[in-house]
Amino acid sequence: MIAVFDTNVLIAAIITEGICSTLLRRARTGELSLVSCPFIITEVRRILARKFRLSHEEVAAALEPIREAIAEIIDYEPKIGRICRDQDDDHVLACALAAKADYLVTGDTDLLDIKHFRRVRIVTPRDFEALFA
């Protein structure tokens, strides 16, 4: 099973202990294949530094479990057109499509409202975790 985790899922996995951190652990142990892209990694880095005011060293340390969990980082050209209100969400959709992901895991309601994008199913972390029950 191939999944792309949206930025909000990765941030939650680092900042809190809950479903998102459980999903990141599942990726680290190989229960799923987590694919990401430079756009998502850069966004995580930026949010950790600006919103959470982490130093460069703290950001690097926080990114380590994410890097361990990611099976592949893909480069892609976002060629999906304008789908979402937020252009950043279009990048996440393009990443999931280029990764040939089965699932895009997100807490973003704009993305969740889409439900499916081509062959990618868009689900909440809770719904994704339920697949492992």
Q: Could you list the mean pLDDT of each consecutive 10-residue stretch along the chain, which spans 133 residues? A: 97 94 96 95 94 92 94 78 66 91 95 90 97 90
> What is the reported pLDDT for 75?
84
What are the structural domain ranges in the chain? 2-130
CA distance 130 to 49: 32
- CA neighbor of 106 nearest in space, from 120, 132, 98, 50: 120
CA distance 38 to 75: 7
- CA neighbor of 49 nearest in space, from 59, 38, 61, 63: 59
> What is the reported pLDDT for 21?
96
Q: Tell me phi and psi for residue 81, to 5 degrees.
A: 80, -170
> What is the reported pLDDT for 2?
97
CATH homologous superfamily for 2-130? Answer: 5'-nuclease (3.40.50.1010)
pTM for the whole structure? 0.90
The total of other beta-carbon atoms located within 10 Å of residue 125's CB is 23
To which residue do tokens 């459980």 refer? 22
